Amino acid sequence: HSEALSPDQVSYNTVISGLAKEARLPEAAAWLDKMKAADVLPTVVTFNALLNGCAEASRPDEATTWFEEMSRQGISPDTVSFNALMKCYCRRGDAALAVRLLDDLRS
């Protein structure tokens, strides 16, 4: 190869998603930092991978932090984002908060 290849959003999102699915959330977060350091901008897909990892690991507080960070970075959550957050709250036994999120999503 005469040209050096550089990882793109898909490359980073793939690694972040894989780590998050294995509940290796600190490592996934470290790869998000590496992504930003490489001047590759995270997307809603990046944050959804982290949110889904938090849902699978039953870590709603961490999911809320990622959800807020997404907004701080100017990335609008989508239905996948809200679904992951609602799943976190339901797993914690806080269905009322999940219902409030669903009401917010509907309005």
Place of tokens 């908060």: 97
**Mean pLDDT of successive 10-residue stretches along the chain, which has 107 residues:** 81 97 96 97 97 93 94 94 93 90 83
Burial 51-72 (b: 16+ CB within 10 A, else e): bbbbbbbebbebbbebbeebee
Contact 46, 56 (CB under 8 A): no
Dihedral sign for Cα 20, 26, 31, 36, please.
positive
What is the tens place of the pLDDT at every residue in 9-29?
A: 999 999 999 999 999 999 999
Contact 92, 58 (CB under 8 A): yes
**CA–CA dist 81, 68 (Å, integer):** 11
